[in-house]
Structure 1
Amino acid sequence: MSERGNLAQARAALVPTLLMAATFAVIASGFSLFLRHQAPVPDMNVLSPKLAAYQAQADAYDTVFIGTSRTFYHVVPDEVEAAAESAGCPRPDVFNFGVFGLTGAEQDWLVDHVLEAGKGTLRTVVIEDPLPEARALDNATNERARFFHGPAEYGPTIKSIASFPESAPKKIFRLGMFGAGAAYDLSGVGRAAALFFPAPEKPAPFKLDMGFDGFEILGSQPTPDIDARRKDFLEHPDKFDAAMARYGAASDENVAARAIYLEDRLRRIRALGLNAALFISPDPEELDRTPRVGVELARIAPDLPVLNFNRPDAYPDLFERGLWFDQSHYGEAGARALSRVLGAELCSELKRSDAGAQHAIR
């Protein structure tokens, strides 16, 4: 057979093969989405117990901080409450909703649940700039990531990636990882088996000590990873010094889109008649990014409270090396020192902002 005949035969075989693959993909995706709606919310480390604890007693809190591990390990509710009261505001009731590795879509989801549970009691929501999407496949296909890779998260995730101040190639790579995670979710791999053939004994849900209203002292629950981070911090002071040197260094990364992204989220909360503020925690490893995001947000939205503490020039005492547990998280002393300043400045900002005046002033 001639070469032309071979090509024609190959094309003839390719068309039905592609149609079959497309049909299978559509059916598999539809079945996977059906199973997604039937499956319960998975038990997620820290996130699930915190959400359950908040929903069970939402009427006990009027102020919620929602953020990453910086919020989890840095915001001490009792210290924030006492400092706000000393600064002349009614004493708030603070819940720390910090979660490891919180991304933009996850934060949007959590805000929705907090707003729903806190109706009638909630007055103030303070959000942190969430982390970027995963750049590793295992972080895009684990159980928690799979839950947040459904169709409802496509738009929020793409917005978060597009707004993050980093180079175009890095954004494209994150989009690729998100696409891989979404494809894995749509494939339905493992979902039917988990739903129809559950394990005879489910693992015990992760539990968290809520004695500090969601705050945890870093190092109080040691793990090999936490111990390794502490050891690295103690043995390599040069890394801390190098991170500190990032502050004020020239950067080509434009933060305007990220400021707009955060403004949209704050205004959505504020439109419900609540106080909304952005919390930027001290974090040496982010000194070249988050301070500039905060400055830009304050510039474009001067009416919104921006609690920008990642500025060694303005808060030198908060960057003493002895306060830190690792390269980007405080130990207990640092968390308490920050929380006292945070409570006082939150009070001041709520007094200044139009939306917060009715709640902040005695």
Structure 2
Amino acid sequence: MRRVTNSAGAAVAVPSTNARPSIAHHALIVALFLVAFAGTCGLLHSRLPFPSVPDIAPRFRYFAEHKDEFDTIFIGSSRIRHGIIPQVFDEAAAKNGVPTHSFNLGYSGMWPPESYYYLRQVLALHPKKLRNVFIELMDYRLGQAEGEAPTMRSVYWHDVPHTGMALRLVAESPLSFNEKVGLFATHAHEFVQNMTNPGRGAEWLEQRYFPARKKVDTSWISRRGFDPEPATEWSEAAQEEYRRQIRVFEEASTHEHWRPGFAAALDDILGKVNQTRAKAILVIPPTVRPEEHFTACPRGAFFGFYFDSPSKYPRLYLPELHYDPGHLNEAGAREFTTQLAEHFTTAWMTW
């Protein structure tokens, strides 16, 4: 305040025109800016097309263009990508009285939360004929990707729900406090990077007006997403190590329950599929990872086909049908796909 003399000669107090704004005033301005900035970023993010994630984006865009041709899709990691042959599945299913037309959307390293985000983007396309959604049942593999520098692949799925899922899974993990803090920071950074859309405008302009013309491998189109692994010669030492892994796997206890965060995320994605009138179907390909030795099938899944049993499915664990302990070669993929189709049609006919 300052004092001035009015027309009558009396001194009066008037507000000072050079008074500094209060801290609350500054805080309000900053808060309004952040809200406006976040809202603008969110609006832009919702309007931008699927990001140009190497290898994944071409498959998504191809499916988007042909979405109404397929009634069955497979979502998961490299074990789905290299393990399920759509043409073989369709032939076996039709032979058993359940005609299908399927597409393999699996890709290497795609597990939750990324696979759930990817599936939601596929469902958002509203495929008219979609009736069967096969989802690979696997938990989040903590720490296998977070230690690397951020890439478009690691960033693109970090929206609010899937970043929240990742943070909850980290919080529930047996990792140390310092490791958890590091992972929290990584996911938070990738969330901010994703939602602020750096470079997405230029990417959109390039896609729309200057599409890339470089040659890329599109052989997966004729195979409807399937990518075969070659047959390999296993040394005696490699075969013995594989047999040891099988023994350890069979001796390991099965998991009847999931961590609360993963169970909630799984129920949510199953519900999302069921809302589309498609059937959510869980599948576990042949595996020797003890942490993937599941037995329970959640209520939201119409069927669950678990091939994590060397004693029950001995052929699927033969070295000659494997590229490595975790992946089938093309001959193994044919065997696995045929057995999966037979289980599916049997369950369908008796459902």
Q: What TM-score does the superposition give when structure 2 sets the normalisation length?
A: 0.74
Quote how far apart the aligned CAs of 1:61 are.
1.2
Determine the C-alpha separation between the residues in 2 that align with 1:182 and 1:326: 34
**Residue equivalent to 1:12:** none
Larger helix share, 1 or 2: 1
Q: Deviations over 1:147-180 (max 9, x none)?
A: 22233532343455567xx525376654443234
Look up the equivalent residue of 2:275 and give its one-letter code. A
Quote how far apart the aligned CAs of 1:283 are.
1.9
Residue 332 of structure 1 pairs with residue 330 of structure 2: yes
Contact 1:76/1:336 (8 A) holds in 2: yes
1:51/1:130 Cα in 2 relative to 1: closer, same or farther (>3 Å)?
farther
Alignment of 1:1-362 (within 5 A): 26=34, 36=45, 40-86=49-95, 88-130=96-138, 132=140, 135=143, 136-137=145-146, 139=148, 141-159=150-168, 161=170, 167-169=174-176, 174-185=183-194, 204=214, 206-209=216-219, 210-219=221-230, 236-250=238-252, 255-257=257-259, 258-259=262-263, 261-284=265-288, 286=289, 288-292=290-294, 295-297=295-297, 301=299, 304-353=302-351
1:119/1:155 Cα in 2 relative to 1: closer, same or farther (>3 Å)?
same
Contact 1:84/1:90 (8 A) holds in 2: yes
Determine the C-alpha separation between the residues in 1 that align with 2:227 and 2:92: 19
Q: Secondary structure at the match of 1:141?
A: coil
Q: Secondary structure at the match of 2:99?
A: coil
Quote how far apart the aligned CAs of 1:64 are.
0.8
Unaligned runs of 5+ in 1: 1-14, 221-229, 354-362
Determine the C-alpha separation between the residues in 2 that align with 1:133 and 1:33: 28
RMSD: 4.0
Q: Which has the larger radius of gyration?
A: 2
Quote how far apart the aligned CAs of 1:185 are.
4.4
**Residue equivalent to 1:360:** none
Quote how far apart the aligned CAs of 1:186 are.
6.1
**Residue equivalent to 1:7:** none
Unaligned runs of 5+ in 2: 1-22
Determine the C-alpha separation between the residues in 2 that align with 1:69 and 1:77: 15
Contact 1:28/1:188 (8 A) holds in 2: no
1:186/1:306 Cα in 2 relative to 1: closer, same or farther (>3 Å)?
closer
Q: Secondary structure at the match of 1:307?
A: strand
**Residue equivalent to 2:13:** none
Q: Secondary structure at the match of 2:74?
A: strand
Look up the equivalent residue of 1:113 and give its one-letter code. Q
Determine the C-alpha separation between the residues in 1 that align with 2:160 and 2:300: 34
1:296/1:243 Cα in 2 relative to 1: closer, same or farther (>3 Å)?
same
1:76/1:255 Cα in 2 relative to 1: closer, same or farther (>3 Å)?
same
Quote how far apart the aligned CAs of 1:256 are.
2.5
Determine the C-alpha separation between the residues in 1 that align with 2:236 and 2:268: 40
